[in-house]
Amino acid sequence: MDPTPRIAVLLSGRGSNMEAIARAIQAKRLNARIVAVISNRAEAAGLEIARELGLPAHAMPVRGRAREEYDAALASFLREAGAEWVCLAGYMRLVSRPLLEAFPRRIVNIHPSLLPAFPGLEAQRQALEYGVRYSGCTVHLVDATLDGGPIVAQAVVPVLDADDEAELSRRILEQEHRLYPEALTMLLSGDYELQGRRIKGKKPKPDMAVKPS
């Protein structure tokens, strides 16, 4: 059987992080295969992008189902598709027990802030309103808390005086597109250890290294 790690991507909107993952795979920077792109919103632009990239794209509307019922159906679909990892990429729903249990420690999310600062919606606006001088993005494992699971990787983006929400979001998104495939490379290769909440890569990450004094 093909040993290439099989991933599914869940999204709710634009889909630029899904596209960044797909392009990293095409460019052989990430060893993975996308077996499904799924959206809870049929009109999500990301589904159209996935189809253009030749990826299997599916809408799975919630249709009034309770969260756990929906997530159980999603978990079955993902299993059938052969997914080993689930990547949330702008997936704007909380993930509940049936999905967490189907993919323990194998659901990954990207969030546009330096967690644990500014979880939830409109993280970039929250950062501007708070007045932080640095924000960024975080790739983390998903647990039952909102944006609270163990951190895999972070990238720092300075907040400039001239920034508005759109401009800060744009610069953070640039980093998201670099960081997500990079973090997945580490996770999918298994080159890490999870100790409590800490995820330690077995290979050095030179771009993020702070020189010891």
Catalytic residues: 111
**Residue count at the site for ligand GAR (CB under 6 A)?**
16
Q: Which of 8, 9, 10, 11 binds ligand GAR (CB under 6 A)?
A: 11
Nearby residues of 127 by Cβ (< 8 Å), 6 or more positions away: 113, 117, 118, 135, 159, 168
Does 179 contact ligand GAR by CB under 6 A? Answer: no
Instruction: Annotate 20-38 with b (16+ C-beta within 10 A) or e (fewer).
Output: bbbebbeeeebebebbbbb
Contact segment (CB under 6 A) with ligand GAR among 15-23, 54-62, 79-87, 181-189 equals 15-23
Does 57 contact ligand GAR by CB under 6 A? Answer: no
d(CA 37, CA 5): 15
Helix H or strand E segment including 102? helix 97-102
Q: At what angle do helices 123-130 and 165-189 cross, to 10 degrees?
A: 120
Does 46 contact ligand GAR by CB under 6 A? Answer: yes
Does 123 contact ligand GAR by CB under 6 A? Answer: yes
Minimum distance from CB of 103 to ligand GAR (Å)?
18
Residue nearest to ligand GAR (CB): 90
Q: How many other β-carbons are positioned within 10 Å of the β-carbon of residue 157?
A: 24
What sign has the CA pseudo-torsion 81, 57, 173, 123?
Answer: negative
Contact segment (CB under 6 A) with ligand GAR among 11-19, 74-82, 155-163, 181-189 equals 11-19
Please name the residue that has the structure tokens 């983390």: 140
By CB under 6 A, the residues from 24 to 43 that bind ligand GAR are none
d(CA 94, CA 78): 17
Contact segment (CB under 6 A) with ligand GAR among 12-20, 70-78, 93-101, 204-212 equals 12-20
Q: Which residues bind ligand GAR (CB under 6 A)?
A: 11, 13-17, 46, 89-90, 110-112, 123, 147, 173, 176
